A = this chain, B = another copy of it.
Amino acid sequence: MTELLKNFVGGQWVEGRGPGTALHDPVTGAELVRVSSNGLDLPAAFAHARDTGGAALRGLSYAQRAAMLGAIVKVLQANRDAYFDIATANAGTVKNDSAVDIDGGIFTLGQYAKWGAALGDTKALRDGGAVKLSKEGGFQTQHVLVPNRGLALFINAFNFPAWGLWEKAAPALLSGVPVVVKPATATAWLMQRMVADVVAAGVLPAGALSIVCGSSVGLLDALTPFDVLSFTGSAETAATIRQHPAVAHHSVRTNIEADSVNSALLLPGATPGDPSFNLLVREVVREMTVKSGQKCTAIRRIFVPADLYDAVAEAIGAKLAKITVGNPRNETVRMGSLVSRAQFDGVTSGIAALRAETEVLHDGTQHGLVDADPRVAACLGPTLLGARNAEASPIVHELEVFGPAATLVAYRDVPHAHALVRRGGGSLVCSLYGPDDAALSDAALELAPAHGRVHIVTASVESQQTGHGNVMPQSLHGGPGRAGGGEELGGLRALGFYHRRSAIQADATLLDRLSALPFPA
């Protein structure tokens, strides 16, 4: 039997009961490790996090907590090679794709360490200035941001076991809020190892960071009114979480980042081969293939003027044809595997559903696999579908296929394009391409209400732009409606979720006594 990974709860490493669930190498099918959360005393674990971890964290200043984040960065950097090995084995990703997760997580932690240091030696933040409530001005209101007195429960997605933890934990810990994280089972190994390294290094106070690997049963039931919950995953599970009695009855503050059908939009005026045309093609190919399209921000819909439909299809297809697919251990392979055979089956059936209403412009099943057995490996070539008549393909705006697949859609004019983008019902990100800056900035404001982020790629920033799908800690990550309605990152904005805003009304001179520093605007 393979190793049964332990859970870290209540300040101890605890083995779950039973044989547990096995994690596999998605390329070879080999069993790697097992996880089980059966039999854990979650209410006691949560109480320890809240009472011991929360009190210890709140006893530190922002600058002290920021220094802790810096210490975590050092621990992770020291063990970086082991993380890449785990990612290759458990996620089937090539080195560049593993880096998006591992180095992305370390980078995000480092940013919050830097930003947090600037918050200084205080334990509460002022939100805006004091405002007069009486004509005389002697009685005023001062809003403050104070750390939540509960814990932060993270229920994470399988595609970012490293970054997915740290992009949430960095602002939570910086805010003084203890973290309990439940990784997705399929790829839980990497996150468990990172937590183990951080625990072993002793850089966090007891109770500040706990991990539960395996089933999520009982986690939500253990939540109480001052806790917060952050979920990343499918829209379906998100709805179940929202409706959970503990969440509904205790007003547990919830942040949800769900799947979405993100768009790339080429505005009118481009011609085949000009810079905006080429930038769109390159970005689409990158988004379809990085991490085998298993990014919640990946481009799923590509909108182009009807007269460019054929040229774009041909250009994307030509680049996709060159993508080598297979075992990530082979250096000639550009795109590794999906994280599991279950995901492979899901993506395959999703593509079949899309094909019922679209044409196939590039067929991923025609890619041969390098060093991988197609009967075992969860490897799949990239597939481009097409909807020349947008009105005939409603499924394109509804179904997210979480793999290397996207659909090209032709539009008539700009209002038609905007309406089609909005049919996604709210997405994480939309990228814009086009030759005219004024048209691009207008489209950005027009589409912003339906997106957490609008990413504009022009020739002037070709070498500097950070990528449609890359989530930069400086920018908001989340989106309305279908995308879950959440808000993460965005620099220090992320601290809002882990703080309670409160208005303190008092004598103006008494308000001066509040030992709180200004929140940076």
Contact = CB atoms under 8 A, between A and B. Distances in A.
A162 interface: no
B453 A253 contact: no
A139 B124 CA distance: 33
21 contacts: A134-B461, A134-B465, A138-B461, A141-B474, A143-B476, A143-B493, A148-B480, A149-B450, A226-B450, A242-B243, A242-B247, A250-B481, A250-B482, A251-B483, A445-B504, A445-B514, A453-B503, A455-B505, A456-B504, A460-B509, A461-B507
- Per CB-CB distance, the 9 closest pairs between chain A and chain B, nearest first, are A225-B481, A251-B485, A134-B464, A456-B506, A475-B503, A448-B502, A521-B521, A441-B513, A139-B464
Interface string A425-445: 110000000000110110011
Given A133-B466, A146-B448, 15 more contacts: A128-B491, A138-B461, A143-B475, A146-B449, A225-B482, A226-B449, A242-B248, A251-B256, A251-B480, A251-B483, A440-B510, A454-B502, A461-B506, A476-B503, A490-B501
Contacts of A474: 131-133, 141, 503
A65 interface: no
A511 B461 CA distance: 12
Given A444-B504, A461-B138, A480 B144 contact: no
B505 A456 contact: yes
Looking at chain A's contact residues, the main secondary structure is mixed
B253 A249 contact: no
B491 A131 contact: yes
Contact of A253 (B147, B466, B485, B516): B485
A235 B503 CA distance: 22
A306 interface: no
Contacts of A437: 507, 509-510, 513
Contacts of A256: 251
A156 interface: no
A422 B505 CA distance: 19
